[in-house]
Amino acid sequence: MDKWQDNRAWFLVLPVFVIVAFSALIPLMTVVNYSVQDIFGPGETVFVGTEWFKQMLGDYRLHDALLRQFLFSGLVLLIEIPLGILIALAMPKKGWGVSISLVTLALPLLIPWNVIGTIWIIFTRPDIGLFGVGINSLNLLEVPFDHTATPLYAWITVMLMEVWHWTPLVALLAYAGLRAIPDAYYQAARIDGASPWATFWYIQLPKMRGVLTIAVLLRWMDSFLIYAEPFVLTGGGPGNSTTFLSIYLVKIALLQFDLGPGAAFSLIYFLIVLLFSFIFYQVLQTVGKGEKG
Amino acid sequence: MKPKKKTIGLLIYFVLLILPIYWMLNMSLRSNADILASFSLYPRNITFVNYLNILTDSSWYMGYVNSMLYVFMNTVISLSFALPAAYAFSRYRFLGDGQMFFWLLTNRMAPAAVFALPFFQLYSTIGLLDTHIAVALAHCLFNIPLAVWILEGFMSGIPKEIDETAFIDGYKFPRFFITIFIPLIRAGVGVTAFFCFMFSWVELLFARTLTVTAAKPISAIMTRTISATGLDYGLLAAAGILTIIPGALVIWFVRNHLAKGFALGRV
């Protein structure tokens, strides 16, 4: 569809620009301010240039948290995107099953994030939790399951929680993409005698590119910025094993009150998210456009 | 895959999805002593003492009212700002449109954990601290970009000829937009409102930072009560269940809208 060329359209966008800029640019400037100053008290600040940036870039605990974060977000994308697509493919296309499926899927998405952590504490505790008690009663594990004691179990618990919480979002988006494919495509596929796999690979997947772009971007950003759920569930432990970037950041900025380093850190953090989002966006926009379109 | 196998797989997935929530419901209907004393797959002696504790304490139920208020405000603000902007992005090419669109999306990418402090300073400077509108405005940061994004998709699905015909018939833009165009994409508006509700309802960090007592959200009151009473699992579970109910009600009421919106496939 050709769009009209008219710069007056800016008047329609202006309100959004103003209200978002108010909430985005002013705090961002404050953070930039903090990141280059040392603050002793109200009105007593010293310009320190890039010192905080150097300090944060040399912080080995930050490196660990960053690696942990990449591993976490990578696993999230690798598990949730395929699983979400599978669920969307299995969902009914008409009848009463549609409403039931949508409502069930949306349920975890509407639970406040700290409550998500609470649910999983109660669910996985080795003394009162169904999962904790259940898995220990099987007697398969060398070390009894307790996510507060063993880093590996803490990771598994956090991953389970994350997949439980957010796969429905991917499934909902993928389902929306699937429903948008006109029947004519399926009829053509049937006439050509295409296998289910070929139908998926050459029709459904390319047609879902738009919604999957949204799904990948949302999951990437939100999993990279994850805070409340693992904080409630594990508090970053045992040790530092589940201290993700946001948890470490809050530790520095709000608990130790090192505003300068915290601000420098959050700017680096923001740039990483931005850079990867841009790469994903570009790749997903171009992938499959030539050969399948 | 055969249809049967698919359905069974889906059913198993749904059971796994419900299980943790069921477990919390189970815990919420037992007293704390009972929970710690014996492991049971279902509540043997059902008690509503946890719920009574919560519902008779005004700081608890006011938490609900507060959350509801700012979520509602946020949804209304997000939609009324995003609708015209989404129309501009779907119909016009203008200077810097692509950059503007991506910039809007970047606002979802800032780590909320550190932006919380500047937010606190900003809102206390303009005297909006501890008001519902402050939280509603703060949540616009991530909800408006999302709303623009989703609405733009729905609007692009409406042929431009409809706009042209209306303008030839002598409609002015505001009247055309409100009486013709918005009704055409009402499923999209429903889906967008759902997403705005969802992200505003579940967010905790900004809501907690920007409020002291008068506008405190229910989820923050929950954390406070936990620390005050130690580890009362029954009470904790009951509070958790109560925070799920409003969300569950909302999905139930918009489910047909949602199904229709998804059928258009324009999310």
A106-163 pLDDT, tens digit per residue, is 889 888 888 888 888 888 888 888 888 888 888 777 777 887 788 888 898 999 999 9
Strand partners, A47: A37
Give the SS3 label for residue A39.
strand
Percent of chain A, pLDDT > 70?
95
Q: What pLDDT was estimated at residue A76? A: 93
What is the rounded average pLDDT of the residues B48-77?
85
Per-residue pLDDT reduced to its tens digit, A258-267: 778 888 888 8
The per-residue DSSP string of A199-264 comes to HIIIIIHHHTHHHHHHHHHHHHHHHHT--HHHHHHTTT-STTTT--HHHHHHIIIIIS--HHHHHH
Percent residues over pLDDT 70 in chain B: 91
Structural domains in chain A, CATH included, are: 59-292 (1.10.3720.10)
Show the domains of chain B with their CATH numbers: 1-47 (no CATH), 56-264 (1.10.3720.10)
Q: CA–CA separation, B146 vs A189, rounded Å? A: 35
How many whole angstroms separate alpha carbon A76 and alpha carbon A87? 16
Confidence (pLDDT) at A291: 43
How sure is the predictor about B2, in pLDDT bands with cuts at 50, 70 and 90?
low
Helix axes B3-28, A113-124, angle to 10 degrees: 90
Which of A33, A35, A114 best probes binding to B when mutated, by most B CB atoms within 10 angstroms?
Answer: A114
Contacts of A266 in chain B (CB under 8 A): 110-111, 113-115
Query: Could you give the C-alpha distances from A130 to B20, B36, B62, B218, in angstroms and in order?
Result: 8, 13, 32, 26
Predicted pLDDT of residue A70: 92
Q: How large is the average pLDDT for residues B253-266?
A: 67
- Could you tell me the CA-to-CA distances from A251 to A63, A145, A150, A257, B167 in Å, in that order? 15, 28, 22, 8, 57
Distances (CA, A) of A274 to A64, A267, B110, B154: 20, 10, 9, 26
Identify which of A24-28, A45-49, A108-112 has the greatest average pLDDT.
A108-112
Q: Round to whole Å and give the CA distance between A246 and A232.
A: 13
In angstroms, rounded to a whole number, what is the distance separating the alpha carbons of residues A119 and A187? 45
pLDDT tens for B220-238 read 776 665 555 556 788 888 8
Q: Tell me which of A265-269, B77-81, B140-144 is least confident.
A: A265-269
Q: What is the pLDDT of residue A34?
A: 79
pLDDT of residue A290: 47
Distance of alpha carbon A114 from the chain centroid:
16
**Cβ-based contacts of A112 with chain B (< 8 Å):** 201-204, 218-219, 243
Partners of A118 on chain B (C-beta within 8 Å) are 24, 222, 236-237, 240
CB contact under 8 A, B222 and A210: no
10 Å Cβ neighbour count for A214?
21
Task: Name B5's Cβ contacts closer than 8 Å, sequence gap at least 6.
Answer: none
Q: What's the first-to-final CA gap in chain A, in angstroms? A: 16
The pLDDT of residue A50 is: 78
Q: Residues 134..163 of B with a Cβ closer than 8 Å to A: which?
A: 137-138, 140-141, 144-145, 148-149, 153, 156, 159-160
Backbone angles phi, psi at B157, to 5 degrees: -80, -10
B177: nearest CA in chain A? A12
Residue B230 confidence (pLDDT):
58
Q: Which residues of A touch B90 (CB under 8 A)?
A: 3
Confidence check: pLDDT of B85 > 90: yes
Q: Which two tokens stand for residue A97?
A: 């099953």
Strands (E) in B112-207, as ranges, are none
Nearest-angstrom CA–CA distance, B137 and B123:
10
Q: Which residue has the tokens 């409003």?
A: B246
Find all residues with CB under 8 Å of A237, minimum gap 6, and list them: A148, A154, A243
| Rounded distance between C-alpha atoms, residue B166 and residue B176, angstroms | 7
Interface of A with B in 89-108 (CB under 8 A): 89-92, 98-99, 101-108
Of A7, A20, A227, which to mutate for an interface test with B (greatest number of B Cβ within 10 Å)? A20
pLDDT tens by residue, A215-244: 888 898 889 888 888 888 887 778 788 888
SS3 at position B130 = coil
User: What is the distance in angstroms between the Cα of A36 and the nearest Cα belonging to chain B?
Assistant: 15
Q: Which of A128, A166, A267 to mutate to test the interface with B (most CBs of B within 10 A)?
A: A128
The pLDDT confidence band at residue B82, using thresholds 50, 70 and 90, is very high
If one compares B124 and A44, the residue with the highest pLDDT of the two is: B124
Q: Residue B127: pLDDT above 50? A: yes
Chain A partners of B159 at a C-beta cutoff of 8 Å? Answer: 1
Residue of chain A minimizing CA distance to B27:
A122
Chain B contact present for A32, CB below 8 A: no
DSSP letter for A127, please.
T
For chain B, give the percent of residues with pLDDT over 90. 13
Predicted local confidence at residue B244, as pLDDT:
85
Q: Which two tokens stand for residue B178?
A: 């409100």
Report how far apart, in Å, the C-alpha atoms of B104 and of each of A93, A218, B52, B86, B145 are: 34, 14, 44, 12, 5
Which of B17, B94, B222 comes nearest A6 by C-beta? B94
Interface of B with A in 107-136 (CB under 8 A): 107-119, 121-122
Structure tokens at A13: 């966008």
Q: Find out whether B139 and B203 touch, Cβ atoms under 8 Å.
A: yes
Residues of chain A with C-beta less than 8 angstroms from the C-beta of B84: 12-13, 15-16
What is the SS3 assignment for A137? Answer: helix
Q: B265 and A179 in contact by Cβ < 8 A?
A: yes
Residue at B128: amino acid letter: L
Give Cβ neighbours of residue A25 (< 8 Å, ≥ 6 apart): none
Which of the 8 DSSP states describes residue A38? Answer: E
Alpha-carbon dihedral sign for residues A233, A237, A242, A243: positive
pLDDT at A289 over 70: no
Continuous segment of H or E residues that includes residue B92? strand B92-93
Under a CB-based contact definition with an 8 Å cutoff, are residues A56 and A261 in contact?
Answer: yes
> Tokens representing A149?
């004691």
Q: Is B157 helix (H, G, I), strand (E, B) or coil?
A: coil
Sequence letter at residue A159? M
Our CA-based measurement puts residue A201 at a distance from the nearest CA of chain B, in whole angstroms, of 15
For A261, the closest chain B residue by CA position comes to B114
